[in-house]
Amino acid sequence: MLNVALPKGRLGDQVYALFSKIGYECGAIYENDRRLVLESPENGVRYLLVKPSDVAIYVEYGAADVGVVGKDILLDGNPDVYELLDLGIGKCRLAVAGKNDYVEDREAVLRVATKFPNVTKKYYASLNREIEIIKLNGSIELAPILGLSDVIVDIVESGRTLKENNLKVLETIVPVSARLIANRANYQFKNDVITTIVEKLMEVLPQ
């Protein structure tokens, strides 16, 4: 049985669509109940529905053999896993954003609100810019509106959240997409099945 950590939500739906295309259907997924473990013994797969930001933890510790996670989370958490494939879905970017009328004061320490403290530190260190990080867990866009921070480092997908809050992208840090990851030990144990999955996924990926 292959244990797959699926991120709950829209990305998870897209990932499941890809996995079902390559033979890992699991009818229970459509029952839409509150179960967090759904399996299809006939197809040799067990799906674990986890919070997107926790996928890499389940895979790193071997509770899941493989999983799908955004590159943003891999860059920030640097988990000890194999990154096997860029699935080309969940495309967005990590960017610095601020108010539409934002003007940087280069003399002052820059206050940056973010869910991604490590990527943020690395990015500003590369610019030799002194910053103070304000770690938030969501609704990051509120921070500059309320004067809690000067700017934010966050995911921008359509740009709608920024626009509707009178914010704009100031700099793009890195493009992001969903990646297939594997537990290092289980990758050796279940090498045949995981290698086959990678090959089959490559055939059905969006171009």
158 Cβ contact list (under 8 Å, min separation 6): none
Q: Measure the CA–CA gap between 114 and 94, rounded to whole angstroms.
A: 10
For position 191 contacting ligand PRP by CB under 6 A, the verdict is no
Q: Of the ranges 75-83, 100-108, 134-142, 189-197, which one interacts with ligand PRP (CB under 6 A)?
A: 134-142
172 binds ligand PRP (CB under 6 A): no
Residue 158 engages ligand PRP in binding (rule: CB under 6 A): yes
> What tokens does 136 get?
């938030």
Q: How far apart are CA 197 and CA 55, in angstroms?
A: 18
d(CA 53, CA 79): 11
Of the pair 46, 71, the CB lying nearest ligand PRP is at: 71
Which residue's CB is nearer to ligand PRP, number 115 or number 190?
Answer: 115
**139 near ligand PRP, judged by CB under 6 A:** yes
Residue with tokens 């539409």: 100
Beta bridge partners of 68: 180
CB of 15 to ligand PRP, least distance (A): 16
Binding site residues, ligand PRP, CB under 6 A: 138-141, 154-161
